[in-house]
Amino acid sequence: MSASAHIHDNAGWPMASPVLSVLIPFLRDDPGVLLALLEREALALDGAVELVLLDDGTADPALTARLTAQIDALALPTRLITLTANEGRSIGRNRLASAARGGSLLFLDSDMRPDHDRFLQTWARLTTEQAPAVAFGGFSLLQAPQEARFAVHRSMAAKSDCLSHERRALQPEKYVFTSNLLVRRDVFETEAFDPGFSGWGWEDVEWAMRVSRRFAVVHLDNTATHMGLDTVEALAAKYEQSAPNFARVVARHPDFVAAYPSYRVAKKLKTVPGLKAVRPLFKRAAHMTALPVPLRAFSLRLYRAALYAEAI
């Protein structure tokens, strides 16, 4: 059963004719800082870009009131959709796309921060001049927190996520995440996110696998910083959630997944006797602050692979 929704539009929304819709889902986060950064480009954009935000069931009246006041002060045409209950990542993104009016959709998580002040202008220009089916701008860690508790995640993200656009283009479907992701509307209407995925992980990569079989996936250098680094415990919990999703991807796209290191390691670990008993040791090592960060990161990767080995 779908959650009920309250919709709030600012004064710029009704008359705008955007070419690009920026879609920002959030849950128990405050996207106010991101809105302020995007607003810096409002004058240069002159109505070509709109913002659509989805509060996926936070149920925080104070946050809603703050955001409503901020949105009313924005020059960027903006809509806020507030849900009474959580619907999940895939359904939420599909709902955002239904509310958008632009010919292209830019998915941008609330914990992202543009790395330069022509971020939206770059996307709008690409949309107008080339209208790619799918394009990913890339992640960085330029503005990410430096606290020691995030050191393992920072190390892992730098190695596997924050890659150059040339490197990402070598496996275009693999390096597609629903943050800083541009999708042309007709492509999204052809291939929406699968609501069968639950919890965290892999629904964006699985979507990209499907799309890449029919459309070109472009990679460019228009990065934003992923501010939401996790502790080891939080990241391990996400990996635990993601194991069934990984198995779902393996079943659907064995040809793509066969080239992924995470799959190859999981297949090897599957043959290890007593893996289930050994697996907690990988997680424990990742928690040990006395160990070098690269070793802790390697241990957490092994923990993830061991989870995946049991799922496939």
Taking only the tens place, the pLDDT of each residue in 196-252 is 787 788 888 898 899 999 999 999 999 999 898 999 999 999 999 999 999 999 999
pLDDT for res 71: 98
Please give the Cα distance from 297 to 164 (Å, whole number): 21
Closest CA to 10 of 62, 79, 91: 79
Residue 299 half-sphere exposure, CB side, CA atoms within 13 Å? 21
CB 126 within 8 A of CB 19: no
**Which uninterrupted H or E stretch holds 72?**
helix 61-72
Cβ burial, residue 214 (10 Å; 0-12/13-18/19+): exposed
Which amino acid makes up residue 156?
Answer: M
Strands (E), the chain: 5-9, 20-26, 49-55, 78-83, 104-107, 112-114, 134-136, 139-140, 181-184, 217-219, 224-226
What residue ranges define each of the domains in the chain, with the CATH number in brackets? 5-229 (3.90.550.10), 231-312 (no CATH)
Task: Dump pLDDT digits (tens) for 43-57.
Answer: 999 999 999 999 988
Query: Which residue numbers in the chain have pLDDT < 50?
Result: 1
| C-alpha torsion sign, points 177, 181, 185, 187 | negative
Question: What is the 8-class DSSP label of residue 5?
Answer: E
Q: Name residue 51's beta-bridge partners.
A: 22, 78
Residue 1: its pLDDT value, please?
46
